[in-house]
Structure 1
Amino acid sequence: MRMVFRWFGEGNDTVTLEQIKQIPGVEGIVWALHDLPAGEEWPMERILEVKELADRHGLNIDVVESVNVHEEIKLGRPGRDKYIENYKRTIEKLGKVGVKVICYNFMPVFDWIRTDLFKELEDGSTAMFYEHAKIANMNPAELVRRMNENPELTLPGWEPERLQYLSTMLEAYKDVTEEQLWDNLKYFLEQVIPVAEANGIKMAIHPDDPPWSVFGLPRIITNQENIRRFLNLVDHPNNCITLCSGSLGANPENDVAAMVREFANRIPFAHIRNVRVYENGDFIETSHRAQDGSVDICDVVKAFHENGFTGYCRPDHGRHIWGEVSRPGYGLYDRALGIMYLWGIWDSLERGKRRNGNDRDQ
């Protein structure tokens, strides 16, 4: 397991590279050019700027999250080919600087969705919260307004320039079915996977967050069956998934550890976090500790260990603790605690493996 840490760039993150470097076992950053609109080709000089900064701190830039997919591609419109060509050229450039994994998603209009970015937990910390009934009765424009109340720190997937045409986009998806979205995803994969292979990059799709339809929009990367279908759309070792325990774990019917065990050879990147799911469909993000949420993080890590996982892993969203002011879900303290919890599980499994091996030798 290779530990990495999401970083939003110089001047766009409350966490510094110096701080990231001091977290035990972290060897790289998970990054992107967040200010570039979806569909735009990434300039090589901007990519090299990030590499130089990371190199200066002894951190790799092996994982990019995300190279966003333009809505024309998801909608299957005639203009998609132009944006796919831009995507291919970006893949080629990222391959030249040693990127190994590109995480992306195929969620229409919205990425992850929450109704409260700072919901208070019993211990006084705050975390991101999803209220099921509120989403069912909320105008999407109101949600966008809430998510962008603090313009100083952009939220990934909620960039104002992406959502300024919200009503137009919602109208465009009104008649798009899940099957059509599957077809459009297959078209995209058939174009980009050969380029990814040629450049030594694994394309790793992120599950839908939450893993069900929101505002009537189709969502397809939601459960074990659909992930299996996705991997078979283009059955190629470079067509992979980002296994996110928090996104998938928001649905209690999803057995995340079982997914790790089935898809292990197609998971180059993992997001590990916990969520507490309530009977009414609400959920809140918790500490990484298994006892604090509904996802058995111990078994998830064990599943990775059993399969000899050598891919990249990052602690996903953390709580806001100890008075830290940060981008929602992306402070330093709780994510660093999460890393140490994950390492604790992993190191215990490693020690048990060595001990069992020595017992057999005797």
Structure 2
Amino acid sequence: MKMVFRWYGTGNDTVTLRQIKQIPGVEGIVWALHDVPAGEEWPLEKLMAYKEEADRYGLHLEVVESVNVHEDIKLGLPSRDVYIENYKRTIAKLASVGVKTICYNFMPVFDWVRTDLFKEMEDGSTALFLDKAKIDNMDPAELVERIANDLDFTMPGWEPERLKLLSPLFEKYKSVSEEDLWNNLQYFLEQIIPVAEQYDIKMAIHPDDPPWPIFGLPRIMTGRESIRRLLRLVDSPYNGVTLCSGSLGANPANDIVAMVREFAGRIPFAHIRNVRVYENGDFIETSHRTQDGTVDIAGIVRAYYETGYTGYARPDHGRHIWDERCRPGYGLYDRALGIMYLWGAWDAMAAGERGDAR
């Protein structure tokens, strides 16, 4: 398991590369060009600037999250071919700075949805929270206004240029079914995967967050069967999944441990985090500790260990603790604690295997 840490860049993150370097076992950063709109080709000079910063601290750039997929590709519009060509050229440029994995998603309009970015927990920390009944009965424009008022940073999936197009996008998706979305994903992958193979970069789709339809929009990456279907669309080791235990874990019917064991060879990137799911369908993001949530984090780490996982992993979201002011879910302290919990579980299994009683 190769540990990495998501970073949003100088001036766009409260966490510094110097701090990330001090977290035990972290080898690289998970990054992206957040100021480049979806569909545009990434400029090489900006990629090189990121590489220079990372090199200064001995951190690699092997995982990108995300090279966003333009909505015209998801909608299957004739204009999609222009954006797919831009995507191909971006893949080639990313290879030149050492990228090995691209995380992306195929969620219409919203990359992720929560109703509260700073929900207070019993211990006084705050975390990302979803009120399911509220989402089921809320106008999406109301949610956008609510989230925008709480944001001090640009958040992936909630970029201003995307939110301005909300009404027209919803109108376009009215005629798009889940099967249409699957067909459009297959078209995209059939174009992209040969290029990924050429440049030795693995594509890793992120599950839908939450893993069910919202606001009448189709959602297709929701569980075990959908991952099986994805991997059949283009049967290549370069067509894989970012297995996110938190996104999939919002539905307690998803057996994440079983998914790790079944798909281990097609998981180039793992997001490992916990959520507590309530009986009414609400969920809140918790510490990584297994007992604090609904997801069997210890079992997930065991499954990765026992399948000989050598891909990338990151602690994903964390709570906001010790009065830290940070972008929602992406502070330093709780994610660093999460890494140490994951390493502790991993090291305990290694010691057990060796019969090390120390």
The answer to whether TM tops 0.5 is yes
1:280-291 to 2 correspondences below 5 Å: 280-291=280-291
Matched residue SS, 2:19? helix
Q: What is residue 89 of structure 1 aligned with on the other side?
A: 89
1:115-163 C-alpha deviation (Å, 9 max, x unpaired): 0000011000000000001001111011111222255311111111112
Whether the 8 Å CA contact 2:257–2:300 is kept in 1: the answer is yes
1:340-355 to 2 correspondences below 5 Å: 340-355=340-355
1:158-202 C-alpha deviation (Å, 9 max, x unpaired): 111112110000010011100000000000000000000100100
Which whole-Å CA distance do the structure 2 matches of 1:151 and 1:340 have between them? 28
1:200-219 to 2 correspondences below 5 Å: 200-219=200-219
Whether the 8 Å CA contact 1:204–1:241 is kept in 2: the answer is yes
1:58-207 to 2 correspondences below 5 Å: 58-150=58-150, 152-207=152-207
1:190-236 C-alpha deviation (Å, 9 max, x unpaired): 00000001001000000000000000000000010110000000010
Matched residue SS, 1:284? strand
Matched residue SS, 1:33? coil
Matched residue SS, 1:259? helix
Which whole-Å CA distance do the structure 1 matches of 2:7 and 2:148 have between them? 19
Instruction: Measure how far apart 1:278 and its partner are.
Output: 0.4
Q: What is residue 275 of structure 2 aligned with on the other side?
A: 275
1:191-270 to 2 correspondences below 5 Å: 191-270=191-270
Q: Under a length normalisation based on structure 2, what TM-score does the superposition of the two structures give?
A: 0.99
Q: What is residue 338 of structure 1 aligned with on the other side?
A: 338
Count, aligned residues: 357
- Which aligned runs of 4 or more in structure 1 are off by greater than 4 angstroms? none
Which whole-Å CA distance do the structure 1 matches of 2:171 and 2:153 have between them? 29
Any unmatched runs of 5+ in structure 2? none
Any unmatched runs of 5+ in structure 1? none
Q: What is residue 307 of structure 1 aligned with on the other side?
A: 307
Whether the 8 Å CA contact 1:5–1:26 is kept in 2: the answer is yes
Q: What is residue 318 of structure 1 aligned with on the other side?
A: 318
Q: What is residue 34 of structure 1 aligned with on the other side?
A: 34
180-189 or 157-166: bigger deviation: 157-166
Change (3 A) 1:150 1:282: closer
Which whole-Å CA distance do the structure 2 matches of 1:197 and 1:146 have between them? 42
> How large is the RMSD of aligned CA atoms in angstroms?
1.0
54-63 or 152-161: bigger deviation: 152-161
Which whole-Å CA distance do the structure 2 matches of 1:161 and 1:16 have between them? 27
Matched letter for residue 280 of structure 2 = N
Matched letter for residue 64 of structure 1 = V
Which whole-Å CA distance do the structure 1 matches of 2:218 and 2:353 have between them? 43
Whether the 8 Å CA contact 1:207–1:248 is kept in 2: the answer is yes
Whether the 8 Å CA contact 2:274–2:294 is kept in 1: the answer is yes
Matched letter for residue 69 of structure 2 = V
Matched letter for residue 82 of structure 2 = K
Whether the 8 Å CA contact 1:96–1:199 is kept in 2: the answer is no
Provide the identity percentage.
73
Whether the 8 Å CA contact 2:117–2:150 is kept in 1: the answer is no
Which whole-Å CA distance do the structure 2 matches of 1:37 and 1:148 have between them? 18
137-146 or 220-229: bigger deviation: 137-146
1:258-277 C-alpha deviation (Å, 9 max, x unpaired): 00000000001000000000
Which whole-Å CA distance do the structure 1 matches of 2:74 and 2:156 have between them? 18
Matched letter for residue 54 of structure 1 = A
Whether the 8 Å CA contact 2:152–2:327 is kept in 1: the answer is no
Q: What is residue 295 of structure 2 aligned with on the other side?
A: 295
Matched residue SS, 2:355? helix
Matched residue SS, 1:148? helix
Whether the 8 Å CA contact 2:120–2:127 is kept in 1: the answer is yes
